[in-house]
Structure 1
Amino acid sequence: MRKVVTAPASVLSRPAAEVDPADPEIVRLAEDLVAVMRASPGCVGLAAPQVGVSARVFCVDVTGHPKAATTHGTFVLCNATILEAGRWRPGREGCMSVPDLTGDVKRAARIVVEGLRPGTGEKITITTDAFEARAVQHEIDHCAGKLFLDRVAGAHAVYQRKIYL
């Protein structure tokens, strides 16, 4: 299983490369991302840079999360872009690549995102909201070389992660 890299790893702070979704290595990467996400308690998304690969690929699955309103189950997108974004709201975020901190980030509460399905290269468009929209934007940020810490309003909006026993 691939290991999650943590800040300040350089792969997390530079834009990732576009990919050929039909490339067998990308298909394998997509499968690995889903496996790592599922093996990581509380994880609802994971991007290729988080496992040390500079590629615009990520997975999301917010199924069963208490903050989820809309859910599309487990999905993986390559070369995703946000087509529409609206209803901006602040919310607390954490990240496996920044394990000790959380922060308040303003994100769109409704988005339309387009990307390519690994394997087939089929173009898919997803319209989502609430927590799933936040998770997708968080993962797209990883593909752009940004962490949630780059989006907080300042040091006053960063918190030590709480550990629940």
Structure 2
Amino acid sequence: MSEGRILPITRWGEPVMHEVTEPVTSFDEELHQLVADMFATMEAAEGVGLAGTQVGRNLSIFVYDCPDENQVRRRGVVCNPVTVVPEGRDRNMESAEEGCLSFPGAYQPLARPDKATCTGQDEHGNPVTVVGTGLLARCLQHETDHCNGTVFGDKLSSRVRRKLDEQHAELVKLYPDDWPVTPKLKRHEL
């Protein structure tokens, strides 16, 4: 596998962002290159997670490089993710600012369970289970949602969604169409 290439991040509104993805069935060199590209893209965009849909691929896959509630950095790949969260008494909701690389610059609070367990396969087809707490729990839920055709804005009330849209409209000019291939602009560069 070669080094990862930085790819343009697909924005909300593009059809691939709002469709249920196809399962990963070939754990081949092409997939390994996609994984390398996704890590390079996520790093360039300073994100903690990135789904296949966010680089225009209708594949059920995401990469993550994200701290858990103890600030332990966790990094990996999940193909064909299934994420479950606690129910009933075991469920503890945590409201925190959430954003999306595919809707850059905008953040709004969203309550999600503070623990999540994601199962799937790694880039070689081996079974993986990731138990996430804190930000990692949020990341696992957010990225699995992408694989299911859901963006976090879909989970917001209409009032909060309007705030998110207003923030994005104000800041989107800082993000070139091919961002992060072309870096984000600084406000003074406008």
TM-score (norm 2): 0.76
- Residue 43 of structure 2 corresponds to which residue in structure 1? 38
Provide, for residues 37-84 of structure 1, a one-character-per-residue CA deviation record: whole Å limited to 9, x for no partner: 11123x111000000000011011124xxx843545211100010134
Q: Is the 8 A contact 2:97 2:107 kept in 1?
A: yes
Q: Which is helix-richer, 1 or 2?
A: 2
Q: Which is strand-richer, 1 or 2?
A: 1
Aligned residues: 160
Unaligned runs of 5+ in 2: 1-5, 172-185
Equivalent residue letter for 1:79 = N
TM-score (norm 1): 0.86
C-alpha distance 129-21 of structure 1, shift in aligned 2 (>3 A): farther
- Residue 12 of structure 2 corresponds to which residue in structure 1? 7
Among 112, 129, 136, the alignment partner of 1:132 is: 136
Provide the rounded CA distance (Å) in 1 between the counterparts of 2:108 and 2:134.
17
How far 1:114 moved relative to its partner? 0.6
Unaligned runs of 5+ in 1: none
Question: In angstroms, what is the RMSD of aligned CA positions?
Answer: 2.2
- Residue 180 of structure 2 corresponds to which residue in structure 1? none
- Residue 18 of structure 1 corresponds to which residue in structure 2? 23
Secondary structure in 2 matching 1:133: helix
Provide the rounded CA distance (Å) in 2 between the counterparts of 1:24 and 1:7.
28
C-alpha distance 72-100 of structure 1, shift in aligned 2 (>3 A): closer
Q: Is the 8 A contact 1:20 1:26 kept in 2?
A: no
Equivalent residue letter for 2:61 = V
